[in-house]
Structure 1
Amino acid sequence: MDELKRAYEKMGLPDNASKEEVDKRYTTLMRQSRSRQRENPSGTDQADFEEVTRAYRYILNEENRKASEEFNQQEYGKYKKMAGSAEKVDHFWRYYKFHVLGGIIALILVIVGINSYMDHRAEQERLAKLPPVDLSIMYLGEYYMSDSTGKQTTEADIETALLAQFPEFKRFKVNFTYVPLDAKDQMDIASQQKAMVVLATERPDIYITDTAAFNWVGPQGAFMNLDSIADFSNLLKPEDSYKQKTEDVPDEHTYGVKISGSSILSNIPIQGKDNFIASVREGSKNTDKAVQFIEKFLETK
């Protein structure tokens, strides 16, 4: 306290002077010192002013210390004996919270990454134990994965239902891609864009489409000319044959077969607003099984 009192005396102020008074007094003394130095450069005013500056800084430091103590008392006084610990924790969290949060997020990402890797490994091991895929099928159109009661289903449910109808096959792989003919909102537009990506990247053996999707995809050369690989004349009504022309084959040929009305469809948990049309992908490696698949639908109509 004596040192603080001496600092005020050095500045010519009472020890109860406000911070504004201290700042104003220091500015005045600084101007006076500079003025005297210009008049007498070899005088002792510079050394005297350095002492004033030290006194000024000491007063400011004491003011800051008091303000900090008052703040801590207000903030942490309620913790009583634990006030010191509470202050340290608060200061640590204030200065290092982003480091702590970053560490937590990094830890979560590591855990998620490990879990994803383990899940991927487990899925790969599960798939390795399965028999080879007999037929891969893409449902493309305004279809809905649900059973006759309206219960939501999955692609795995569809695969299971197909196996029950085709016991001669050991495994199906189903890709379900909803695509509306007319986009009514952003969701429909997104579905159409997704369908374009799927068509460019996926290569199923069988496409099952509604009329709109067939007319959209067929002219792009994605379907195989069925007249060249099978004779469905004994099973197929003329109105159930979907014919088209392509750039490579200008003559009209059958590229799709209407399988709507087959009793098999009632056992597959998919609902559609329009026809079910089966087509074989151009370049399919399971052509014989694809033809067998379509024939069974036609036999059960």
Structure 2
Amino acid sequence: MDKLKQAYERMGLPENASKEEVEQRFSILARQARSRKQRQSSSDPESAEDSFAEISSAYRLILGLDDQRTVDQFTEKEYGKYKKFAGAAEKTDHFFHYYKFHLLGGILVIALLIYGIQIYLNYQAEQERLANLPPIDLSVMFIGDFGNQESDELEIAENALLAQFPEWKRTAVMITYLPTLPEGQTDFVLQQKAVITLMTEKPDAFIMDRSAFAWLSSQGVLRNLDAEAAGLFQPHLPPDSAMKAKAAEDTAEHIYGIDLSSSPLAQKLPLKSNNEFIYGLRTGGNNDAKALHFITNYIKPE
């Protein structure tokens, strides 16, 4: 404290002087020191320098103490209530103040890691479940205005198909919504989504409404059924049920679908689109035997 007392004496101020008084006094003394330096520059330059250095040192010491008092007052106000734990509380508060973004980033990384692990475990569990299931006898895509692809709808449709073929162990159903009359940006997006689905999914057969049939046949997705309509299907094929169309790369009309809307078995399916139920096979499919067995059963009268 002796040094502090000497600093106030050097600046000609009482020890209870305010910060503003210290600032004003330093400005006055600094100007005086510079003036003396200019007058003594030739006779005693070192004395002038020492005088200014003493004033600056006293000024810094006083302001340092004032800043420390401010910090001490703030610390007492904020952490005094913790008493003997005030130091630990202050350190903890400073830690969270300076590293809060690091902590938040760490928490986010941990959350993402847990989320990723959960997704991986769910994927592994699903793969294990699928591996334990019997092979798929027939995969069918409902495409058109058949509603949303909800898990309960898929399960209901799969069970309905399976019930009609007791000899089968498992069927797979996909539902792809396709607008009946595409209009506007939303319908265009839905149609593009259907295109992507057709590129990634490979069903054995399609069940369509008329709008979807017209679109799929023009895209060359459906297999030509001319031979089956004249042979395998012919004994039970209802009049006018053979659906003809032209593919993009074939100018001649061919049978690409069979209209089974009036079929008793079709009426038992839980998914319908305006009571339209058109069956077709995928071009390049490798499960034709069961796909043809399916349609043969549907065109037969109960």
Same fold (TM over 0.5): yes
RMSD across aligned positions (CA): 2.8
TM-score, normalising length: structure 1: 0.85
The answer for the alignment partner of 1:205 in structure 2 is 204
Decide whether the 8 Å contact of 1:145 with 1:270 is kept in 2. no
C-alpha distance in 1 between matches for 2:162 and 2:268: 11
Deviation of 1:196 (Å): 2.2
Deviation of 1:66 (Å): 2.0
C-alpha distance in 2 between matches for 1:265 and 1:77: 81
Aligned length: 297
Superposed CA offset, 1:122-169 (max 9, x none): 2222222222222221111111259xxxx9824233222221222222
C-alpha distance in 2 between matches for 1:251 and 1:158: 35
The answer for the alignment partner of 2:159 in structure 1 is 160
Contiguous gaps of at least 5 residues in structure 1:
none
Decide whether the 8 Å contact of 1:145 with 1:153 is kept in 2. no
The answer for the alignment partner of 2:13 in structure 1 is 13
State whether structure 2 residue 191 is matched by structure 1 residue 192.
yes
C-alpha distance in 2 between matches for 1:28 and 1:154: 89
Decide whether the 8 Å contact of 1:163 with 1:172 is kept in 2. yes
State whether structure 2 residue 292 is matched by structure 1 residue 291.
yes
State whether structure 2 residue 120 is matched by structure 1 residue 121.
no
**In the TM superposition, what are the counterparts of 1:170-189 in structure 2 within 5 Å?**
170-182=169-181, 188=187
Decide whether the 8 Å contact of 1:206 with 1:278 is kept in 2. yes
Deviation of 1:48 (Å): 2.7
The answer for the alignment partner of 1:215 in structure 2 is 214
Relative to structure 1, the CA distance from residue 265 to residue 27 in structure 2 (aligned partners, 3 Å threshold; closer, same or farther) is farther
Relative to structure 1, the CA distance from residue 53 to residue 251 in structure 2 (aligned partners, 3 Å threshold; closer, same or farther) is same
State whether structure 2 residue 49 is matched by structure 1 residue 46.
yes
C-alpha distance in 2 between matches for 1:157 and 1:30: 92
The answer for the alignment partner of 2:278 in structure 1 is 277
C-alpha distance in 1 between matches for 2:29 and 2:183: 79
**In the TM superposition, what are the counterparts of 1:115-154 in structure 2 within 5 Å?**
115-144=118-147, 153-154=152-153
C-alpha distance in 2 between matches for 1:202 and 1:152: 17
Superposed CA offset, 1:93-131 (max 9, x none): 111122222222222222222222222222222222222
Q: Secondary structure at the match of 2:46?
A: coil
Relative to structure 1, the CA distance from residue 91 to residue 271 in structure 2 (aligned partners, 3 Å threshold; closer, same or farther) is farther
C-alpha distance in 1 between matches for 2:38 and 2:73: 43
TM-score, normalising length: structure 2: 0.85
Q: Which moved more, 1:99-108 or 1:73-82?
A: 73-82
Contiguous gaps of at least 5 residues in structure 2:
none
Q: Which moved more, 1:81-90 or 1:31-40?
A: 31-40
RCO higher in structure (CA 8 A, sep ≥6): 1
C-alpha distance in 2 between matches for 1:65 and 1:38: 36
Largest Rg, 1 or 2: 2
Decide whether the 8 Å contact of 1:145 with 1:152 is kept in 2. no
Decide whether the 8 Å contact of 1:163 with 1:169 is kept in 2. yes
Decide whether the 8 Å contact of 2:260 with 2:298 is kept in 1. yes
C-alpha distance in 2 between matches for 1:114 and 1:184: 42
Relative to structure 1, the CA distance from residue 20 to residue 241 in structure 2 (aligned partners, 3 Å threshold; closer, same or farther) is farther
Relative to structure 1, the CA distance from residue 25 to residue 122 in structure 2 (aligned partners, 3 Å threshold; closer, same or farther) is same
Q: Which moved more, 1:76-85 or 1:87-96?
A: 76-85
